[in-house]
Structure 1
Amino acid sequence: MSGNRGIAMAGAVAAAALLLAGCAEPAASQGKGSGTPGSAPAPSGSGPSAGTMPGLIGKTSAEAEALVKPVLPKPVEARSAYDDVPLAADHGQWAVCFQTPAAATPVTGDASVEISLVAPGTPCPAAAGASLHPPKGSGPAKTPVPSADPGHPKPKHPKSDPTPAPGPKDVSYRNCAEARAAGAAPIRRGQPGYSRHLDRDGDGVACD
């Protein structure tokens, strides 16, 4: 009797264990799709990762592209900083004057980068798109010199004739020696200092 009772109890324990196992399995399978913590798969990334825009101003075009490449997959768009200077096909050594986006700006992987360049030895303009060689005549207008009041023009001073030399004064010489000492001899008739008493031969020339 006691042996049969032990067998019956063992069978009951086994049946209970099977029942518990059957109930636990649906619960486990139910938990997989229920969104409970630890059971759901890790979410995948929903977009490109963010980064920080490096500083490119002052770098060469080749250096700028090398700095941007680890941050943004898109190629760098290069252009000339001057509107009247075409960008060379080989612009790797051209210097960066302006960049978009600005340095230290947070960017995403789909952002576009633009750089404005100048040829080696050329200064950067004040703003992108300026002209390096402005056309002639486009400089600042010259300020006209103010003229006199049009209603009261300055009178024109006529050119004065040279002052005529003063006429010779009436001179007389007591003798030819005095006339020669004065540097006046010979003295012709009609000239200052001529006197009949100095013209002894009467030929019209005194002190000859």
Structure 2
Amino acid sequence: MAALVGAVVLLGSGCEDAAPKKGADKPAGATTPAAPAASPSTAAMPTLVGQKFTDAEAAVKKLVSRAVEARSAYSDVPLAADHAAWAVCFQTPAAGSPLEPSSAVELSLVAPGKPCPDKAGAALAPSTAPAASRTPAPPKPKTSPPTDGGSTGGDGGGSGASSVYFKSCAEAKAAGAAPMRRGQPGYRDALDRDKDGIACDK
């Protein structure tokens, strides 16, 4: 009999414990404080790459109050005054980034039919201007000071007979002076390798 009374007491105590547990679950399961965590004024930046500027601008204007900044994706291609049909290559902020009404949005565009560069601000055409300006000009013949020993010019192989001086046969040919015979301007023994009296003939 004592055992039966004990069992009844235990069952009774179990019923009493269940009631407070249910009551304790209500405040713990309440989600009202967590709801305001997401700010209704913050949106996500949409994906605009590949869209025309007019469509991208319209999508952004629904989310921000500031004007959308547009620029050319190429450093050497100016942005056209009418760039409505230009395509978006790059966007700032990136797609999925938090976007507030005061956020600044910048879009880098390319003209219709043009490919997007690897990175914003790259050049569309490789710089060929420096290479074109580097075309070598024909070397000017170097002149040596005139000598007073005119009488010795004939014996010196023409080295002292003229004030025209060429450092090499390539320089003489570039100046249009080769071949040069002994006694002609620019002739000197050092340029006449076979000593036949004609310099830079080969």
Q: TM-score, normalised by structure 1?
A: 0.42
Whose Rg is larger? 1
